Amino acid sequence: MIRVGIFGATGYAGLELVRILWRHPVVEIAFATSTSQAGGRLSDIHPQAPDFPLIAPDQAPLDAIDCALLCLPHAASAEQAIRALDAGRRVIDLSADFRLRDPAVYRRWYAHEHPAPELLDEAVYGLTEQARDRLPGARLVANPGCYATSILLPLLPLVSAGALRGPIIADSKSGVSGAGRTPQAHTHFVEVYENFSAYNVGRSHRHLPEMEQALAGWGGAGAPSLIFSPHLLPVRRGILSTLYAGLAPGWSPGRARERLAAAWADEPFLRLLPEGRLPSLMHVVRSNGCVLGMAEAGPDQLILVSVLDNLVKGAAGQAVQNLNAMFGLDETIGLERPELSA
Amino acid sequence: MIRVGIFGATGYAGLELVRILWRHPVVEIAFATSTSQAGGRLSDIHPQAPDFPLIAPDQAPLDAIDCALLCLPHAASAEQAIRALDAGRRVIDLSADFRLRDPAVYRRWYAHEHPAPELLDEAVYGLTEQARDRLPGARLVANPGCYATSILLPLLPLVSAGALRGPIIADSKSGVSGAGRTPQAHTHFVEVYENFSAYNVGRSHRHLPEMEQALAGWGGAGAPSLIFSPHLLPVRRGILSTLYAGLAPGWSPGRARERLAAAWADEPFLRLLPEGRLPSLMHVVRSNGCVLGMAEAGPDQLILVSVLDNLVKGAAGQAVQNLNAMFGLDETIGLERPELSA
Amino acid sequence: MIRVGIFGATGYAGLELVRILWRHPVVEIAFATSTSQAGGRLSDIHPQAPDFPLIAPDQAPLDAIDCALLCLPHAASAEQAIRALDAGRRVIDLSADFRLRDPAVYRRWYAHEHPAPELLDEAVYGLTEQARDRLPGARLVANPGCYATSILLPLLPLVSAGALRGPIIADSKSGVSGAGRTPQAHTHFVEVYENFSAYNVGRSHRHLPEMEQALAGWGGAGAPSLIFSPHLLPVRRGILSTLYAGLAPGWSPGRARERLAAAWADEPFLRLLPEGRLPSLMHVVRSNGCVLGMAEAGPDQLILVSVLDNLVKGAAGQAVQNLNAMFGLDETIGLERPELSA
Amino acid sequence: MIRVGIFGATGYAGLELVRILWRHPVVEIAFATSTSQAGGRLSDIHPQAPDFPLIAPDQAPLDAIDCALLCLPHAASAEQAIRALDAGRRVIDLSADFRLRDPAVYRRWYAHEHPAPELLDEAVYGLTEQARDRLPGARLVANPGCYATSILLPLLPLVSAGALRGPIIADSKSGVSGAGRTPQAHTHFVEVYENFSAYNVGRSHRHLPEMEQALAGWGGAGAPSLIFSPHLLPVRRGILSTLYAGLAPGWSPGRARERLAAAWADEPFLRLLPEGRLPSLMHVVRSNGCVLGMAEAGPDQLILVSVLDNLVKGAAGQAVQNLNAMFGLDETIGLERPELSA
């Protein structure tokens, strides 16, 4: 058995981790922490959660685990990562703390110094389909953001092949669980229901640099730039990203489809829909899948529509997929594919 | 023009008062207060609200108004009521502070002494259809609660006539705006959407004594008792109350229908649907109507289904209806009937 | 392996049966039928369904199965039940065709003669917790309705013990999937969203006689009568029933709670919440659980709030629980409990 | 009084026309037609509609009206338009029948010959803010589509000034009422709720040619091309369109903002939000407003976010605005601005 500790188990990503790992045949949850609810039980937080005790993060017995799973706010996450690494444990961090390579970029977007810049080089950016070769040896994995996963997965094979011209436009729509469990005016039921809004459009969302860094890594000097516009959907779960990109010289929509189809052919959680079909959130909710539809808008203009569950493939599911890979297990253990059939 | 001041304009009832009074041809909003947002503007709170300045309640110019409309938490409301009355103004209080006659009952349910017990006798319980004779002379009107209005309006003609045996069961379902605008765990979108729950069932909700007091007033010694079970609906607005009552000896469903039809025949905002039809929230949302369906469940068992908009007939709309009556205007001015036709 | 055929696989109950049985370790789906979509594939109907062929019901190979699961409209269901029984197969019917013992009652509510009155005596009413002794030998099981299950499960221990006085009032609220997958005006998104309505209140819903028959069977001559008011909730799944009942002489709320607690203590899918807590749909959605809260409204007045998922415990899940029992398996195989913990 | 007849009053656009015109001080509804519900009353269709009789379209007394308002399917609309024009009445057509100038384009998108090609030259494309000079003399007005209005209103001042480079990308999200009142699988509550999907992306939606024609008219030879991707939002009303466009040489985001601000300064229904603010559906629902936010995504890349109510400014409201203009009235009569203040 692989023993894990979940830090920040009462947030939506933490609860989803518990939901998935509770049935995982090879992973055991050794403890779950909560700063605000320490001393309580997880079933007090969510009626379908197991009756599991919550402990304060500082009392977490690090020697009882093989890996720490961090679902904490940024900065708080880095702090626990350092503690766990110092204790010889491996770490998967679901916060943004170790996603950016450059501490200056981190400072610009998060307005404080990075708490552990010396770890940035070592951290593996855990977009599983791209990172799996480095996961078995990784001590520290930075789990990608939910928006980033929905945008990067379809772009990976195309940008790596130099197929796209920028700017790529990513028009993304996310369910409300992406905004976290802390009650706020903009997550009040009355403000969200029967409403829809855009926010932080263009180049102002904190998850933009994570995506730009990935595209630059895959596309080199000619990597396309990115425009990213998130929107708040009146649903609980799911992200749908509509991507618009020009094709580079020599590329046609058909060739791009072939490239994507080849790259995704053996991926257990990625599905490219046949021509003429587009996905909806219903394709993926509660699964670890990412489903993609592709359309053209002229001979050199591509439209990609990707969907995933922000709490699963966009957070806890991808973390478990990474965990599986880190510990030499089949990546798919404990996770649901985007359809019932294999 | 009648000049009013709205205390607590940034809550849902306060915003609805502004929405209604903004178009009222005879009423002018002299000021709107907010403790937390003083110095800001109402359009910052809600994008369709007018661009109206918000002032601190203590700086409200009471000499500029004829009537104060209080949308404040209990206790805070009584405090402003005293100030306004002392300044010679009339008051409509939308809180629970002046609904109960007996300060001991108030203490039991609100766990503190009533701030102004000497005013309780004078306060008129403003269920307009029942109180209208006393409104022109009233200095202080206690606007009924939303649940109470949905339950009392259909019961008024029947209990007054001695038609019902208790216990009357009121199974009520309310939209989320009834829970207020302050973000809380139980109003978080993710917790409410695709969910439904019961709370404070039986005899434990604070609005129960207000209803019992009214029933006792109408039915005297033989007034039926009440069981009240509120539920939280995943919608923004509207209350549907399903009422179950036995018929007293000598009463048939048909006679009860006749009694109700007669009582409501000339009421501008009350509608009794024909036999075989039941109302939905869509009958009333954004109007000041209360629409009622009646069915039988045997020769001596009645079912009444009433709907109203909790923010309009259940709060701001009824307050304006009371305001109209207090100042000698046609009750219907500025208010929408439950259907477009007159 | 137990081989089953699913008749009517493209409705919501049929799809849920596929979802559950697809992962059932001992049951194999031999075929799935659809009248309107024969020749198509299940994945065309629902994006997360397996890619399974749909055949016409008349071409279903009855010799390939051990048990037929019928998710068909009434009358059509009886017809296929006869065919399957004639071919020597066992049958679980999710329609209403075999729930009523008395063909005259069937005729009154369904306005046509029962297609197979000779089978009514043999059919076992499959409220699993009550019927499990007779399931291993049953050829034909009538799966209870979703409303009925939510109402009868909490009443079973109490009515059997003579604890309740009538009339019992069942105020039930159901998600829209209970209305079926055929598009209709009253299931159009625009008509349901931000709306809520009552329908067929009192004694006019078709599922009333099924419940009266059960109560009469358990309570004998003194069985309490039932008033049943269904409502349409703007959610996809889930039923919450609020039950109001008087206590019989000699019964207190505490004694009733003890009785229920004892009866449910060893039930894998039934949960009685501790005093002071009430359930929400979130307790049970997608599980086979029924969760109950109990409150009092005076010394002799009980309130019970039960929740279940209408497609699982109210339909497909209970059918699988019955299937497990019929074939000598552990009842819980392939089904989820109302919480993650065991 | 201006007397109008509403053809197709039971669809969502027709009902909205009734809602608006019922309170219009200068317009009188002479009749309302319905093919399927002739003989019934409008209040049977929607509980808040007036109790107005529905007649068959062929029995509509054209001599009783000054203007026919057509809310019919394409082709059926053209047929009634011809009848009304032949009878000497003016016509506002809310269908797509008279929006396209070129009958060959109509044939390509609608797969049949245009029923009245001789009228296409005469028809005025009724984007009120652009067409108002020609409306007083118009016999036949083609009311723009809802998506088109949300996209064209912000583009009009910019494309007319040559400020934009193509392709312009319009990523639009619409509430379900845009799909019509006929129950269909894709408007079933269970399929839409907690879901979100893209459809007809790129260059395949029928409302694309209407927009291209308008852009070509304003921008001439250098008019930017358009990519249009509609999505289905799980809400009842409202369209939010996110537009991405490159700036032409010599244009900066600031200059573009000035241009838009100048063009919209005196428009009663159009609002440009200050820098840093973006609109949500809540800004406009039930009003005739179109509210716009503007952001930049680099020195030569513009993002525009527009919102309107698809049934009001996107259909019935704009029709009334056109009606007002056609008959020499103030355009704003009977219509709500996007905020309560004037």
pLDDT at D51: 86
Decide: helix, strand or coil at residue C115.
coil
What is the per-residue pLDDT for D342?
Answer: 31
Q: Mark A80-116 as b/e (b = at least 16 C-beta within 10 Å).
A: bbbbbbeeebbbbbbbbbbbbbeeebbeebeeeebbb
Q: What is the pLDDT of residues A257-289, one digit of tens each?
A: 999 999 999 999 999 999 999 999 999 999 999
Using the beta-carbon criterion (under 8 Å), do B189 and A185 form an inter-chain contact?
no
Of A167, A285, A301, the CB nearest to D301: A167
d(CA A233, CA C297): 41
D298, D287, D215: which is closest to D256 by C-alpha?
Answer: D298
DSSP character string of A68-105: EEE---TTHHHHHHHHHHHTT-EEEE-SSTTT-S-HHH
Last residue of a domain, one of A122, A157, A179: A122
- pLDDT > 90? residue B20: yes
C188, C194, C236: residue with CB nearest D187: C188
The DSSP bridge pattern shows strands A90-93 and C226-232 to be unpaired
At position C245, the amino acid (one-letter code) is A
Residue B324 sits at the chain D interface (C-beta within 8 Å) = no
Q: What is the mean pLDDT of residues C237-245?
A: 98
How far apart are the C-alpha atoms of A197 and C340, rounded to whole Å?
Answer: 35
How many other CB atoms sit within 10 Å of the CB of residue C270?
Answer: 24
Question: Residue C51: which of A285, A280, A337, A339 has the closest Cα?
Answer: A339
CB interface of C with D, residues 180-199, below 8 Å: 181, 183-185, 187-194
* Predicted confidence (pLDDT) per residue in C40-73, tens digit: 999 888 888 888 999 999 999 999 999 999 999 9
The residue assigned the tokens 């879901």 is: D195
Look at residue A24 in the predicted model and tell me its pLDDT. 96
Of residues D10, D5, D6, D9, the one with CA closest to residue D182: D10
Same domain? For C169 and C305 the reply is: yes
**Phi and psi of B240, rounded to 5°?**
-120, 125
- Residue D269 falls inside a structural domain: yes
Identify whether residues D89 and D162 lie together within a single domain.
no
Does residue B187 sit in the same domain as residue B250? yes
Please return the burial class of B42, using the count of CB atoms within 10 Å of its CB with bins 0-12, 13-18 and 19+.
buried
The CATH number assigned to the domain holding D280 equals 3.30.360.10
Instruction: Tell me if B198 sits within 8 A of C305, measured CB to CB.
Output: yes
In angstroms, the CA D32 to CA D147 distance is 26
In angstroms, the CA A277 to CA D200 distance is 9
C175-234: per-residue pLDDT in tens? Answer: 999 999 999 999 999 999 999 999 999 888 899 999 999 999 999 988 999 999 999 999
Chain C residue with CA closest to D237: the answer is C190
Distance to chain B for C251, nearest Cα, Å: 18
| Interface-testing mutation among B312, B340, B341, with chain D (most D C-beta atoms within 10 A) | B340
Q: Does D204 touch chain C (CB under 8 A)?
A: no
Residue A271 forms contact with C (CB below 8 Å): no
C336 domain-assigned: no
Distance CA D94, CA D140 (A): 11
Under DSSP, is residue D244 helix (H, G, I), strand (E, B) or coil?
Answer: strand
How far apart are alpha carbons D30 and D64 in whole angstroms?
7
Residue B276, burial from CB neighbour count under 10 angstroms (0-12, 13-18, 19+): exposed
Query: Rounded to whole angstroms, how far apart are CA atoms B207 and B200?
Result: 10
Cβ atoms within 10 Å, residue C53? 12
The label of the residue with tokens 């023009």 reads B1
The 3 state secondary structure assigned to C117-156 is: HHHCCCCEECCHHHHCCCCCCCCEEECCCHHHHHHHHHHH
pLDDT in tens, B96-112: 999 999 999 999 999 99
Number of domains in chain C: 2
Residue B173 inside a domain? The answer is: yes
| Residue from the list D19, D52, D280 with its beta carbon closest to the beta carbon of B47 | D280
Residues A34 and A113 in one domain: yes
Alpha-carbon span B204 to D108, nearest angstrom: 66
Q: D165 and D306: one domain?
A: yes
Considering the domain architecture, whether residues C278 and C186 belong to the same structural domain is answered as yes
Q: Which among B224, D234, D304 is positioned nearest to A232, based on CA atoms?
A: D234
Per-residue pLDDT of A111-137, as tens digits, reads 999 999 999 999 999 999 999 999 999
A181 CA: distance to closest CA in chain D (Å)? 18
Is B331 within a domain?
A: no
Nearest to C142, CA basis, from C157, C128, C161: C128
Judge contact between C160 and C219, C-beta under 8 A. yes
- Kindly state whether residues A83 and A17 are assigned to the same domain: yes
Q: What is the mean pLDDT of residues C150-175?
A: 97
Statement to judge: residues C163 and C301 lie in one domain: yes
In a domain, residue D154? The reply is yes
Q: Is residue B319 part of a domain?
A: no
The answer for B 233-252 residues in CB contact with A (under 8 A) is: 234-236
pLDDT at residue D341, as a whole number: 38
Q: Supply A132's token pair.
A: 């799996």
Nearest-CA neighbor of C84 among C119, C41, C112, C128?
C119
Asked if B155 and B272 sit in the same domain, the reply is yes
Reported pTM: 0.97
> What ipTM score was computed for the predicted complex, to two decimals?
0.96
- Domain range for C194 is 147-310
Q: What one-character DSSP code corresponds to residue A244?
A: E
C-alpha distances in angstroms, A293 versus A224, D83, D203, D300?
21, 45, 15, 29
Q: Which residue has the higher pLDDT, C99 or D47?
A: C99
Partner-chain contact D183 C184, CB within 8 Å: yes
Grouping H, G, I as helix, E, B as strand and the rest as coil, residue A288 is coil
Average pLDDT, rounded, for chain C: 95
pLDDT of B44: 86
Contacts of C88 (CB under 8 A, 6+ apart): none
Nearest C-alpha neighbor of D287 from the set D339, D226, D248: D339
Which tens digits make up the pLDDT trace of D200-249? Answer: 998 889 999 999 999 999 999 889 999 999 999 999 999 999 999 999 99
Q: Which residues of chain D neighbour A301 with C-beta distances below 8 Å?
A: 167, 202, 227
Report pLDDT digits (tens) over D90-110.
999 999 999 999 999 999 999
Which one, of C40, C179, B283, lies nearest residue D188 by Cα?
Answer: C179
Does D327 reside within a domain? no
Helical spans, DSSP H, in chain A = 12-21, 42-45, 76-86, 103-110, 128-131, 146-160, 189-192, 208-219, 253-264, 317-326
Residues C29 and C171 in one domain: no
Q: Which residues in A lie closer than 8 A to residue D285 (C-beta atoms)?
A: 194
Q: Nearest chain C Cα to B304, which residue?
A: C201
Residues A178 and A237 in one domain: yes
Q: What's the CATH number where A32 sits?
A: 3.40.50.720
A67 catalytic per annotation: no
d(CA D8, CA D45) in angstroms, rounded, equals 12
Cβ of residue B76 closer than 8 Å to a chain A Cβ: no
**Angle, nearest 10°, between helix axes D103-110 and D208-219?**
150
CB pairs under 8 A between A and B: 55
Considering the domain architecture, whether residues C246 and C188 belong to the same structural domain is answered as yes
What are residue B32's DSSP bridge partners?
A: B6, B54
| CA nearest to C164, candidates C306, C231, C260, C278 | C260
Backbone angles phi, psi at C30, to 5 degrees: -80, -40
Task: Decide if B266 is inside a domain.
Answer: yes
